[in-house]
């Protein structure tokens, strides 16, 4: 009898440990910690372009209580606990990939992250939340434009996706976004967010899972459906992980990392920059075609401010029936002087189109060859020379990419590799 009790106890204990592990491990697909991690296409280029944008050029250093200027590192248990504590509907798992992207935002791209925080917290996130709430979708989807466009409405990918939410022209048209020679509504912060909320809600109806929905947002429902077929019918992201394109495999982890850093930035000594954008705006529907230059002249407002608030107008011309976004105190002034502004446009024969530099006067030149960035986690016994040989790069390049002074690396250290 005593042996039976011992066997029963051990069986119960082992079963409870299995259940505990299943409830606490974030991903059913176990990721090899030595696996290289692809940063989703255009993420780094979008962050770089943000630093050259009108926003960043006119940003001020934020005023925060810091514990230092460097990133603060934490054990895995802390990251997992913080992600679990986020009051979000979507699952926020933690694994080596999520950690690698947290390090990207909190350490290697600190300057860009502080610009993202300034733009998001002051201007874009409240706008996104108001619209997402109207469609009953998770408010944490507001972080998608962080990884899609780095909150730059003028961001355009090499394949033609554009705007904050990076709509392709065909998908944008399906959701009511017009693209003409004068107007690109994919750049309109309000209209594009309405369209994105509807599109994401439709994707959720297909998969009944938000991680799957944003994966399909990245690579398209057709690609996700083919992955489901190859997997034998599995329908959750982490089970589909090995069957998805490399870029999409990194998409959900980088989304989780963005949500983490945007929520816990103070714990990493990150401080949002102060962006000179109006807290309150209003819109006026124009009755006749008008130009930014005429509005700026009459209202005594900089043309650049009009471009920042109205990125959808490609040639500084607002067609009849479209809305013009203005700081609240300028909207009333517009109403009083509307006839003067319209008359100025008529005198110029319907507002001649004048080329402008838009919001990003110094964009980063597009590279003629694609550069793939990978994250390598150092394993015990590895050396810089061995890692360099593995990726066919030089030790000097690895040291430059990672800001290393010496040639010593330690197990668990994450290194950026560019190919």
Which residue among the candidates 114, 148, 304, 382 is catalytic per the annotation?
148
Which residues, listed in sequence order, are joined to residue 284 by a DSSP beta bridge?
Answer: 324
Q: Is 320 a catalytic residue?
A: no
Distance CA 351, CA 344 (A): 8
Tokens read off for 125: 């996130």
CA–CA separation, 51 vs 41, rounded Å? Answer: 18
Q: Report CA torsion sign: 407, 413, 418, 419.
A: positive
Phi and psi torsions of 37, nearest 5°: -120, 120
Q: Which residues are catalytic?
A: 148
């Amino acid at each position: 009898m005593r042996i039976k009790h011992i066997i029963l106890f051990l069986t119960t204990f082992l079963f409870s440990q299995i259940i505990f592990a299943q409830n606490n491990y974030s991903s059913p697909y176990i990721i090899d910690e030595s696996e290289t991690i692809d940063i989703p296409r255009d993420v780094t280029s979008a962050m770089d372009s943000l630093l050259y944008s009108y926003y960043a050029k006119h940003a001020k250093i934020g005023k925060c209580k810091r514990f230092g200027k460097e990133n603060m590192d934490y054990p895995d248990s802390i990251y997992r606990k913080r992600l679990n504590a986020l009051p979000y509907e979507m699952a926020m798992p933690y694994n080596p990939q999520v950690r690698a992207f947290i390090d990207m935002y909190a350490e290697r791209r600190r300057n860009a992250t502080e610009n993202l925080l300034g733009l998001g917290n002051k201007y874009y996130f409240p706008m996104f939340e108001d619209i997402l709430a109207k469609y009953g979708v998770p408010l944490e989807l507001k972080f998608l434009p962080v990884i899609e466009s780095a909150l730059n409405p003028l961001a355009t990918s090499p394949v033609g996706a554009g705007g904050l939410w990076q709509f392709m022209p065909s998908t944008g048209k399906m959701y009511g976004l017009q693209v003409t020679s004068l107007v690109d509504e994919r750049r309109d912060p309000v209209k594009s967010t309405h369209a994105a909320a509807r599109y994401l809600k439709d994707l959720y109806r297909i998969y009944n899972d938000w991680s799957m929905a944003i994966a399909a947002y990245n690579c398209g429902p057709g690609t996700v459906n083919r992955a489901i077929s190859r997997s034998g019918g599995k329908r959750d992201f982490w089970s589909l992980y090995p069957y998805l394109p490399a870029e999409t495999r990194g998409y959900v982890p980088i989304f989780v990392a963005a949500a983490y850093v945007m929520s816990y930035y103070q714990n990493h000594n990150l401080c949002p920059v102060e962006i000179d954008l109006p807290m309150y705006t209003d819109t006026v529907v124009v009755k006749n075609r008008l130009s930014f230059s005429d509005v700026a002249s009459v209202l005594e407002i900089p043309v650049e401010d009009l471009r920042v608030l109205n990125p959808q107008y490609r040639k500084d011309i607002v067609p009849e029936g479209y809305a013009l976004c203005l700081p609240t105190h300028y909207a009333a002034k517009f109403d009083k002087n509307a006839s003067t502004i319209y008359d100025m446009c008529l005198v110029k024969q319907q507002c001649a189109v004048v080329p402008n530099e838009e919001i990003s006067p110094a964009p980063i030149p597009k590279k003629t060859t694609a550069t793939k960035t990978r994250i390598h986690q150092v394993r015990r016994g590895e050396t810089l020379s061995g890692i360099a040989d593995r990726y066919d790069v030089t030790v000097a390049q690895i040291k430059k990419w990672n800001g290393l002074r010496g040639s010593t690396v330690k197990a668990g250290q994450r290194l950026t590799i560019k190919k």
